[in-house]
Amino acid sequence: MNLSSFMPKDLVYPKAAACLTEEEKKDYIEKISGLLKEQNAAVIAHYYCNDDVQALAESTGGFIGDSLEMAKWGKKSSFDRLIVCGVRFMGETAKILSPEKTILMPSLKAECSLDLGCPAEEFSEFCDQHPNRTVVVYANTSAAVKARADWVVTSSIAIQVVEHLHSLGKELIWAPDRHLGSYIERLTGADMLRWQAHCVVHDEFKAQALEKLKQMHPDAAVLVHPESPAAVVEMADVVGSTSQLLKAAKTLPNSKLIVATDSGIFYKLQQACPDKELIIAPTQGEGATCKSCAHCPWMAMNGLKEIYEALTAGQDTGLHEVHVDEEIRVKALNSLNRLLDFSEKLAGRK
Ligand code: 13P
Ligand code: SF4
């Protein structure tokens, strides 16, 4: 089986969220704030969302985080309705963990190229061909793929989980991100059969251009998300999930940071390091297509107008509410719970 064949060839990027005037933004923020209180609802946003959306989550008592933190916060919160601003797998994860809550999204069409690159049926067939392997999948997958897996991991905890499984002598199937998979394999030495999808944002960071940028800023530290190509990861001072990169940005002594991840993270990076110079890593250079140009086209679908629409749409429009088939949900919950339990134990050990 040629694993790379599952990466969709001609991805059509969606239209970004509506462009609003300052006046319109103020108006939407006011209306959304009222609706959130009325509906006992909260906004949960990923770090890659547009600034307006992250600011709304902050000002209305919601949450901003990486994919693991979003899942944990949603599960623990007492809100009846969660507006998940991110991409579909994040909304599905919230529903899997909190089936009693109404999970809404600004758009259910907010995809992820990793999720699209790992169709459940083909993946399941592949797993069937290797029945002795433990199946570990990244959170950036559909509920059906999570249901087929033994473990779900996020980038913040993937190394520790694979180290643990490797120490038990397990051989693994890994899906779907090829770069994160090879990074984990290099670090842990685990035996991993790796699916070959990629993130359209991180895959575009260019090592040669980064080398030149580093020469221009020799005092800068380089922060890299592990969905980036190996040659870029090799140049990093810190490799980590979005939250781990933010933490490192604060503690590193460097006054300049070159950042290889989605530019949405600059909203929180600027707050965390107001005195540091922040530079986005290059997506230009030899072989560059710069289609996403360091911002996820599906994250960009989340906007104030779309959040308002999600809160006011009737139940049956099929445009905003996340549903997960109950049989799939229960299976996916098993593999997600392994992740959550593991992460609690790890936190307890620190
Ligand atoms: P984090 O798990 O680091 O938040 O990244 C997930 C991701 O790629 C979201 O697009
Ligand atoms: Fe998926 Fe990449 Fe977008 Fe994250 S940034 S949602 S991994 S396409």
Report pLDDT digits (tens) over 41-71: 999 999 999 999 999 999 999 999 988 899 8
Residue-averaged pLDDT of the chain: 94
State the pLDDT at residue 287: 60
- Pocket mutation for ligand 2, best pick of 299, 301, 302 (most atoms within 8 Å of C-beta): 299
- In the structure, what pLDDT confidence band is assigned to residue 292 with cuts at 50, 70 and 90? low
The sheet carrying 134-138 orders its strands as: 151-153, 134-138, 172-175, 192-194
Please tell me the distance between residue 205's alpha carbon and the centre of ligand 2 in angstroms: 13
Give per-residue pLDDT as tens, 86-128: 999 999 999 999 999 999 999 999 999 999 999 999 999 999 9
Distance CA 6, CA 338 (A): 27
Residues with Cβ within 8 Å of 187's Cβ and at least 6 positions away in sequence, in order, are: 159
**In whole angstroms, what is the distance from residue 285 CA to residue 50 CA?**
26
Centroid of ligand 1 to alpha carbon of 266 (angstroms): 14
CB burial of residue 25 (10 Å; 0-12, 13-18, 19+): middle
Counting ligand 1 atoms within 8 A of each CB, the residue from 111, 223, 228, 242 with the most, and so the one to mutate, is 242
- Determine the distance separating the centroid of ligand 1 and the alpha carbon of 1, expressed in angstroms: 28
CA of 225 to the centre of ligand 1 (A): 8
**According to the model, what pLDDT value does residue 118 have?**
97
Helix locations, 152-274, DSSP H: 158-167, 178-188, 207-216, 230-233, 242-251, 266-272
Nearest-atom number in ligand 1 for the CA of 244 is: 3
Q: CA 70, 74, 79, 81: dihedral to nearest 10 degrees?
A: 80
